[in-house]
Amino acid sequence: GADIFYGSDYALNITYYDQKIKDMILSSQTIDLTTSPMTYYLYNYNIAEAINRGLEVSAKAVIEPFVVDLSYTETISKWGNEIGQAPTSTVYPQAPSFNVPQRSFFARLTYSIPSFLSWTEKGGRISVDWRYNGSAYYYDAISYNLDRAAWQKLPTPRPAAPNLNDYYLWQKGYSY
């Protein structure tokens, strides 16, 4: 990485990373709704290798009375080629890691408000932020719980309960 400064008013930070994690333990929980009370199963997977690679760029400029902050991240995060246990629908070689956006962007504009009160020389600040989180492999909890509630209302004998692993999917990015 590199950090470049021009005085105290300008900064540029650039970082490239390529990281391999060995022998990571991943916990996964499933629920058996056919039992009373419900039975929870916890599985631990030995992920022989996880890969994280990416680029992070950020910049800051102070142009009184404004401050501008920008940052961008591009990420590849996935499981490696060896999985300690049998693969599942969400844990298999080269599968994407959960909850890691492929890219994100952040922008903030801050205005320094001059003091307008006689008893203080300090003013304040007001900021406007915008953030974009790119597509990521997320657990769709809403759909899973709606389907599970509908399944519980079915008369017995019921078909197989919704499988938690089937509710991981690519979700588009969002801004706020």
Q: 145: part of which helix (H) or strand (E)?
A: helix 141-152
Residue 83 has pLDDT above 80, yes or no: no
Query: Phi/psi of residue 50, each to 5°?
Result: -125, 145
The pLDDT value recorded for residue 3 is: 94
The pLDDT value recorded for residue 131 is: 92
User: Mean pLDDT highest for which of 42-46, 83-87, 164-168?
Assistant: 164-168
Distance of CA 114 to the CA centre of its chain: 37
The pLDDT value recorded for residue 96 is: 80
The pLDDT value recorded for residue 161 is: 81
